[in-house]
Each structure stands twice: as C-alpha cells, then as structure tokens.
Structure 1
Amino acid sequence: WSSWEAYGTTKAWTLTSGDGTKTVYVQYRDNALNSSGNFTDTIVLDTVAPTGSIVINGGATYTVSTSVTLTLSASDATSGVYQMRFSNDGSSWSSWEAYGTTKAWTLTSGDGTKTVYVQYRDNALNSSGNFTDMIGLITWTVVPGLTPNTPALAWNPSANKLQMVVRAADNTIWTATFNSAGIFNNDWAPIPGLTPSIPALAWNPVANKMQMVVRALDNTLWTATFNATGTFNNDWALISGLTPSTPALAWNQSANEMLMVVRAADNSLWTATFNSAGVFNNDWASISGFSPSIPTLAWNPSANKMLMVVRASDNTLWTATFNSSNDFNNDWASIPGLTPSTPAIAWDASASEVAMVVRASDDTIWFATFNSSGVFNNNWVSIPGFTPSSPAMAYLPSTGYLEIVVRASDNTLWELLF
C-alpha cells in the first residue's frame, strides 16, 4: 500500500506495466482512524495498436473502374478494434468510422497504379500505422470503326505513329492511325483490295516502309507497302504460297530481312523471308510443328532471336525460336496457359521483355511476359475486359506503353494503353 494521505476526490496513479486488465484498490479511514475494507475498480491497459491488412477488389491486379471494394481485416488482442479510416495518398484521410470487413471506395481518376491506405484504431484509441494495397487503373476507349476480326498493328517510327489495318465485314481493307501518345486519329481510309482474314503488318527499317501481307479469297498471298508517312503505295504483288489464314510477319534486325510464317491447309507451318528492300525471297521452308491458328512473331533484341508462339489443337500454347539468321531452332516448349485463338506478342523495350496477351475460352483477356532471354515468366494476370477474337498489341516507344486493341462482341473496336 501507499502511505496514508489526506482524502481528496482525485488522484494521479500509475498502473503496473504490461497490457491487460488492471485493478486499483483504495481504503479510506475516518478521523477516529477506522479503516474501511478495499474498494476497487478495473481498467484494461492497452498500449499496442491494432494490426491489419487491406485487399482491393479481391487482389485483382487491374480495374477499369474507380469504384472498388476493399476487403479489410484487423485485430487487437487487448481492447479490440474500434474504428478505421482511409486515404488515397496517405495524407488526406476520411473520417474515422466503425470497423468493418468491407468498404466501398473510390480511387483517384487517371490511369496508373493506385494505392489505398487504411489505418485502424482500438478501443483505447491507439492508432495503427498505414496498411496499403495497390491496383492498376486502366481505361478502355472506344475506337470508331467496326471489324469482324482482330486488327493488325505496327509502329511506324518515321511517321511516329501506330498503323492499324482492319478487314471490314465485306472483306474490304481499311487503315487508320494512332498518334505517338496512343490517341486514335480517326483517319480511316480504304485500301484497294480484299481479304477474308486479318492482314499482317511489320515495319521494314532498311526500306523505310511498312510491309503488309494479306490472304486473298483464293488463299493466295499478296503483299503491298505503306511509305514512310503511312500512305498506302498501292503496289500489290502476288507472292508464291497458299494459306487458309493470316500470315505472321516480323523484322529480324540481325538478318536485315522480314520473316514470315504461315499455316498451311494441313496445319503445318512454313517460313519464308523478304529481303531488306522488301522483295520476296521465295525461300519457303517447312518447320516442325502444327497449329490450327495464325502463328505470332516478335523479335527479341536482347536474346538476338525471333520468338514464335502458336496455339495447338488442344488450345495449349507452344513457343519456339529462330536464330539471328532466321534459321529455325526447333526448340519447341510448352508454356502454361490455354487459348482458343492466336496470342499477340510484342517486344516491350521499356521492360526489356516480350509481352503476350491472349483471349481465354470465356473471352476474358490475360497478359504474361517472357524475360529478356526469352524464358516464359509464368506471370499471368487478368486484364479487365472481353473479346471474342485474338487481341492485337504493339509497343509505343514514344510513351513506353503497350497499345492493346480488341474487337468487342458487337464488332466495335476498343483500345487501352497498358
């Protein structure tokens, strides 16, 4: 006990250390020195703030809406969790509110990575530090125009714009461009010619022109070019060979020639090249492998080889490479994932990796990458959105973003910068 002291109505007192329930005892005595028994009161000492977590939209990597749902969890062993508050910047906070396990929240506008902050406090009013989660906000933008197929995309470095070519429902061919920031110029123009499939596009830096190859109604192959400003040269030329679908085109900067891979009617794969002037070499060669869909190609400058990805008849994905001379390495390897249509791949110079986007069987869109050596990272993430066709993708060097364009179920075109 403490020493007896003069009676008063208040008293400063120090509890014993250590969180938990504390009991304080008091005795009183009168002027005749009659002492009372013990009078007590209890209080919970809590000096430790709550711990907790926050998850945005169930752990999704991306969202297309600023309206999200937060999943919240917090615990406090002593006095219990009492309240929570939120912030989009870690500085300006919402008012304290009763603790709950879910919360509707609005992100700040504008595409990019968004961070949401939460703090919890307990019934002793101990406030926690910040708990955070991040999500990428992406915005799909409608592109005026219609197509029953996937568009073709290729960057024109001379004109500093992205060229797009599509097939219309009547098999006519149309072209338009996106500016260096990825904004659609709405400059649709018809191209003389017809195709029942997706065109193929690739830039030829030596000839300073865009090479296009299309399949005709009789499965023959035709090539034509766009000049450095993106104007169609109307120089159609028949090239030997047949294909029931779109060819794949990509520039091999080591060989200084354009590699083309096509699928034959029996699903076998064949390759040929165009020289640095864009003239077809007529050097068809069969390569091992089969695909019921269009192959896809992208040059990997870090590995100094051409990456090819194809869909197999069971919808599995397979990859193989061509060396710096465009010789097939016959190094087929299965990669995790399924798609009912052709994947899209592109070299992402900002990340030094090959990006890949595919359509799943439920028409959802998925993204993954290959590292600079060409090894698949197996890092699939969902991109919000749907498409009934293969996506199209190209790298925009002026922004460091990937431009993804898809066809919607009503044949409208939509794009996002990723």
Structure 2
Amino acid sequence: MPKARSTSVHVAEGRRDADGGQAGARPGVPLWWVWLAAWPVTAVFVLSNAATPLYVLWQRDIGFSKGTLTVVFAFYIVGLIGSLLVSGVVSDRLGRKPVLLPALGLALAACLVFATAGSVTALIVARLFTGIAVGAVVSAGMAAVTDVAGPERKRIAALLASCAMVFGAGLGPLVAGVLSEVAPAPTVTVFVVEAALLATAVLAVLRMPVPRPEARAGGTWVRVPGVPRGNGRQLALGIAVFAPGITATSFVLSLGPSLLSGLLGTTSRIVAGAMAFVMFLAATGVQFAVRRLSRRTILTAGVVSTTLSMITLIVAVQSSTVTVLVLSALLAGAGQGMGQLGGLSLLNSSVPPRRLAEANAALNVGGYIPAGALPVSAGYLSDAVGLTDGATIFGVVLLSLAVIGGLVVRMTRREVTDPA
C-alpha cells in the first residue's frame, strides 16, 4: 500500500506539472506543444517589422526625412529595452503567462494605432508599443519555449525560440509588402491581418502547459537584466556576436527601402518586403543548418557572416549594385541568426530556469542598444552627407565591431567548446 500511494502521488505531481503547476521535468508534454509555444514569439515579431514596407506610404502622406524615419524605428528600440528592464524579472518571479498576455494586448493596441496613424507621433506611439511587446516575448516568450520543452530538450528549445523570432521578423515585411500592393487601404489591411495572428497567439498562451516558478527570487523588480554569478562570460560572448548581427539587420530594415529606391529607382513595397524576408529566411535556415555544430563554430561563423555583410554593403552602395545589396542582406541575416542561436544556447546550457527570462533579456539589451543607436546615426548622417557615404561609414564601423567580437570568441575556449 505505501508503494501504491507513492506512485499515485508521483502521477498527481506529474499532472500538476503538465497543467502549469509545479516546475520540473516535462515528460508528458508532446513535442508539438514546444513548436506551438514558439508561435506567440513569431506572431509578435511579425508585427515588429510589418511597418517596414509601409514607411514609403507614410513618408508620402505625412512627409518626413530619413533621419525622422530612423527615429521612428529607434522608438521601437526604446520600448523594447524599457520592457527588458522589467519583463525578464517579472516573468521569472510571476510566470510566463502574466507577462505574455499583457504584451499581446499591447501588440493588438499597436495594430490599432498603426491602422489609424496620420502623424509621426502616432507612428512613434505604435512603434513604442510594439517594442514593449517584443521585449516581453524575447524574455518571457523564449523562456516559455524552454520551460515547455523541459530539461531534456534544451537544444531544440533554443533552436525553435531563435527561429521563431527571425522567421516572424522576416514574414512581417513580406506579408505587409504584398498586401500593401494588392489589397485596398494597405495601411489598414496589413494590421487587421496581423491582429488576427495575434489573437491566435493569445489562445496559444492561454492553453500553454508552462510551469509556474519554483521560488520567487529577491531583488528589485526594475533593474538592468543580468545573469547569475559565474555566467557573465557566456553572456558577454553571446552579445559580442549577436549585437553586430542584429545591428546589421536593423540597418537593412530601417534604411533598406531608401537604399533600394536609390539603387533601383523603385518604391515597390513588395521588393522592400521581399528583401527583408529573404534576409530573415537566411537567418532561419542557417540555424537549422548549423545546429549540430559546436557553439564556438557557430559564433565564429556568425562573426564572419556579419563581417562579409558589411564588406558587401560598402561595395553595393559604392557601385550601385542591387544584387550585391541583396547578398549583403542575406549575410546580415545569417550573421544575426548564428549569433542569436549561439548566445541563446550558451545561456540555456548554463543559466537555471528561475533566471532564464532575465538572462534572455540581458542578451537582447546588449544586442538592441547598438541596433538602435547605429542605424539612427546612419540615418541622420545620410541626410547630411548622402546615403552612399552614410551607409559606407556605417559599414566600416560595424565591420570593426564584428571583428572585435570575433577576437573575443577566439580568445575564449571553455565556454564555447561544448555542442550547441
């Protein structure tokens, strides 16, 4: 009888875990739930870049410069970083759902503001809301994928969380570009479709079998996110490669349409959206291609890809060659994808679940600060000296940062030699 009682208790505990109760191993959660847990990340990241092909319409209707355009883009970074100061800590203490559900609500509000925008201020507000929502999903959402997967599936969890982010980021501008060319009221239709995607993400979060936090950590609720003592080197390595990669893709998202207009003489939203899509498609595909390599190899390859991206960017703007510009975007996407996968893998392998959302937030803060500052600087510099010279100077600066990141990886061995 005691043995039967012990078995019953064990089964009951397992059921509580699958229903989102006690934390621990996830033996009863099927693999398809791990994929579905990544859907809210994808849905919010579709919104993150859905506005990219539409800026030419807003510029025509409202009227603003390339510098102002990059400021609108930068408010997304402001919202994202502000969110990361809170969402990771709150998620680790209260759980993933209390962070994800309000974030999805704010994303839906951003859709409404975008659809009715008639001023730069409205665009800034919509981008700010979007950034806050994205900050929540890159911390709580990505951690939720790992939680649902359980300790035995950390590698697939890191891969799916990272791919959900970059695939959504690429799908948004493609869908927006196509709809804005073929559908009526493009700036409205795009965000009605996105609102529908977000509604399905809300349903996924409500049913998600994510465990509750084991214990509430101490410290302030609002703080610069960090990692537990002893994990600082893994975080620094991830940022060293991820930051240049995501800065390169941010440049393509903010000034890519202007570069295409200058090189091709076209303002086609489909072309602009397609370039962003293939960039993030490369970021998605390369992660599946390299997932079995060592973290050291993945991070090194990310550095090489970002460096080559900046070299080809400089060649593209100096020679006005569109094919080279597209190649630069593909390399930028690959660089971000590998830097992101390598960074997430380092954190997933070493940071305990109770601090994982905060660690994810720290990685993204380190990446998005230069991703916001450098493209804005390039935008205003381009207004002053011309788009060709502005893009060239940006390329040289980011190339230097990528090389520094590569040196950091090469000088570190122990943290990056295990399989990803």
TM-score range, shorter chain: under 0.3
Larger radius of gyration: 1
Query: Which of the two has greater strand per residue?
Result: 1
- TM-score norm. by structure 1 comes to 0.20
- TM-score norm. by structure 2 comes to 0.20
Greater relative contact order structure (CA < 8 Å, 6+ sep): 2
